[in-house]
């Protein structure tokens, strides 16, 4: 539990740092995405399988623990009270389950691209060093987050991840035996800070796309948002003409 948790704690940071390159523009993120895609197959698939195995083992252990724990306390107290544990600690199963569903959705959305198969056909030479067509990760991310509902779902999922990490990260130290009372406060603070950093880093991308779509702030090259706007004006013009 703790070991797979540690792997995933490390992974979310690397993933977040990678994602933030979207803010640096199309060339930067496309080049980064392409460099990942063109890693030797055994490294690429090795890491993918390693991460997938971590998620599966993490979830499997969690569910078996929950089942064992329910058996250990079959009769509930008439009055159930909680003295110390907070919401994030008590709801690890709930936040974890939603995150598991999120991971499946996220892979189908941006990695396997079954939800919008057209994302796979987005190619460009921007960001390519050899002037060949590469996958246009930038356009895909922008297209993906232009859907309000999907973006909101991503932000909510990242908030749940933040809560999951706040308990999980500090709990790791206890489970592997490194926490002491003297360090507990500091470790909880580090875990909480890390959790909010991950939340902010991931959420800024869907939020920035939505903000630009709704005309609040220009984060990206406005030409990527033109087509929709012009389509809208065209239709409204047509309507005006008809009337």
Binding residues for other proteins (CB under 8 A):
65, 68-69, 71-85, 89-90, 92, 167, 170-171, 173-181, 184
Q: Which of 69, 237 has the CB closer to other proteins?
A: 69
Contact 162, 198 (CB under 8 A): yes
R_g of the chain, CA atoms, integer Å: 22
Nearest residue (CB) to other proteins, 76 versus 214 = 76
**Shortest spacing between CB 183 and other proteins, in angstroms:** 10
Q: Supply the minimum distance, in Å, between the C-beta of residue 202 and other proteins.
A: 25
Q: 26 burial class (0-12, 13-18, 19+ CB within 10 angstroms)?
A: buried
Structure token digits, residue 69: 């724990």
Minimum distance of other proteins from residue 178's CB (angstroms): 7
Residue 53 vs 90, nearer CB to other proteins: 90
> Is 169 or 225 the residue whose CB approaches other proteins more closely?
169
184: which 2 tokens?
């507990």
Least CB distance from residue 103 to other proteins, whole Å?
Answer: 21
**Distance between CA 111 and CA 144 in Å, rounded?**
12
For the bound state, the minimum distance from the C-beta of residue 157 to other proteins, rounded and expressed in Å, comes to 22
The position carrying tokens 């779902």 is: 153
**Phi-psi label, residue 220: left if phi above 0, alpha if psi -120 to 50, beta otherwise:** beta
Nearer to other proteins, 184 or 233 (CB): 184
């Amino acid at each position: 539990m703790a070991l797979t948790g540690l792997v995933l704690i490390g992974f979310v940071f690397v993933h977040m740092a990678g994602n933030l390159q979207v803010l640096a523009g199309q060339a930067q993120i496309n080049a980064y995405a392409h460099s990942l895609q063109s890693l030797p197959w055994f490294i690429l698939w090795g890491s993918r399988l390693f991460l997938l195995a971590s998620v599966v083992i993490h979830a499997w252990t969690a569910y078996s623990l929950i089942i064992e724990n329910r058996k250990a306390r079959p009769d509930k107290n008439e009055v159930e009270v909680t003295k110390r544990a907070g919401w994030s600690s008590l709801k690890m199963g709930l936040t974890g389950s939603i995150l598991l569903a999120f991971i499946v959705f996220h892979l189908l959305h941006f990695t396997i691209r079954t939800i919008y198969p057209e994302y796979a056909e987005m190619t460009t030479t921007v960001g390519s060093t050899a002037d060949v067509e590469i996958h246009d990760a930038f356009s895909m991310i922008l297209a993906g987050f232009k859907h309000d509902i999907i973006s909101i779902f991503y932000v909510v999922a990242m908030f749940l991840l933040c809560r999951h990490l706040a308990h999980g990260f500090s709990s790791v130290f206890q489970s592997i035996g490194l926490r002491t009372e003297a360090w507990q406060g500091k470790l909880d603070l580090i875990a909480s800070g890390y959790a909010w950093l991950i939340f902010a880093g991931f959420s800024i991308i869907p939020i920035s796309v939505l903000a630009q779509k709704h005309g609040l702030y220009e984060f990206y090259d406005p030409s990527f948002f033109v087509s929709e706007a012009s389509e809208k004006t065209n239709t409204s013009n047509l309507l005006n003409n008809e009337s």
